[in-house]
Amino acid sequence: MQTDIEHSAAATMRPCLDLETIANARDLGGLTAHAGRQIRQNKLYRSANPALGCAADLDKLHALQLDIVVDFRSSGEKSPGEEAFGERFEWLAVPVLDGAMSMDVLLPRLRASNAAQMHGFMLDVYRDFPVRYRDAFRTFLRHAEAGKTLYYHCTAGKDRTGFASLLLLSALGVSQDDIVANYLESNHWNQRFNEKMLAGVGQIGVTAEAMLPLLEVRPEYIEASMDAITATYGSLERFLSDDLGVDTALLRAHYLAS
């Protein structure tokens, strides 16, 4: 059964970018932000890993005139076939999770865990984002402050990318309800991949029940990040302004339509 906020996400969902092989690719343009202004189209993009996209998809990304692509994955999550992407785009590694999402690390955990344990693991991951990986997300926001056309991703474009979007969209003045709705869209855009993964996990000794918390985004995950921010920094506003040093006025000048 859908929660109210999941229903809201489905009702306000806009199309993904027209890509064949790169999942969960979205333009953040059009979201309502500070003072009722909208985020500019064709300036801020989020997605799953684009580096193994087909030639046609990479041509479409090139046509977006991206200034920088920020990659939240660690080196252990990357494959040798990705070098060509780095030759074509300004691709910056800002690793988050220190390889904890690489399959050689995840697979033993998945085999030994049930659904509740994996759910708890994901809550811990989200609690770590604003504390343990604060500096990485600060670096991401510094690149946003430059006002360039920015594309950012992780592996599935949902967890690290989702938290980065929470920070960026909050700084731009998007409502928390709209931020969470945008976050939950990953369940829709990754549905085909998730179904394929769940159908095949038995072959590697993992139950579908244990895998599902890893594949989905859930409201309580992003709430865990918010709770960690409040407990550690006092509020999201103080985290952005005092700890991360975000210039919200500059971000809004760059990315909000007049």
Contacts of 94 (CB under 8 A, 6+ apart): 70, 71, 72, 136, 139, 140
pLDDT at 1: 43
Which of 44, 123, 125, 154 is catalytic? The answer is 154
Which structure tokens are listed for 20? 């064949």
Averaged pLDDT, 229-239: 98
Q: What is the arithmetic mean of pLDDT over 42-64?
A: 97
Residues 47-53, mean pLDDT to the nearest whole number: 97
Sign of CA dihedral 20, 32, 5, 140: positive
pLDDT digits (tens, 9 = 90+) for 126-137: 999 999 999 999
Count: domains in the chain? 1
Structural domain that includes position 191: 4-255
Question: What is the pLDDT averaged over residues 78-105?
Answer: 90
pLDDT band at 4 (very low <50, low <70, confident <90, very high): low
Judged by DSSP in three states, 151 sits in strand
Average pLDDT over residues 54-83: 95
Residue 120 has pLDDT above 60, yes or no: yes
What is the pLDDT at residue 258?
Answer: 87
pLDDT band at 165 (very low <50, low <70, confident <90, very high): very high
Task: Decide if pLDDT at 24 tops 50.
Answer: yes
Q: Is the pLDDT of residue 219 over 50?
A: yes
What count of other Cβ atoms lies within 10 Å of the Cβ of residue 118?
22
- Residue with more model confidence, 100 or 236: 236
The reported pLDDT for the residue numbered 103 is 80
Q: Is pLDDT above 50 for 39?
A: yes
202 touches 181 (CB < 8 A)? no
pLDDT mean across residues, the chain: 94
> Any catalytic annotation for residue 154?
yes
What CATH number has the domain bearing residue 50? 3.90.190.10
pLDDT at position 98 is 83
Q: How far apart are CA 67 and CA 32, in angstroms?
A: 24
Residues in the chain: 258
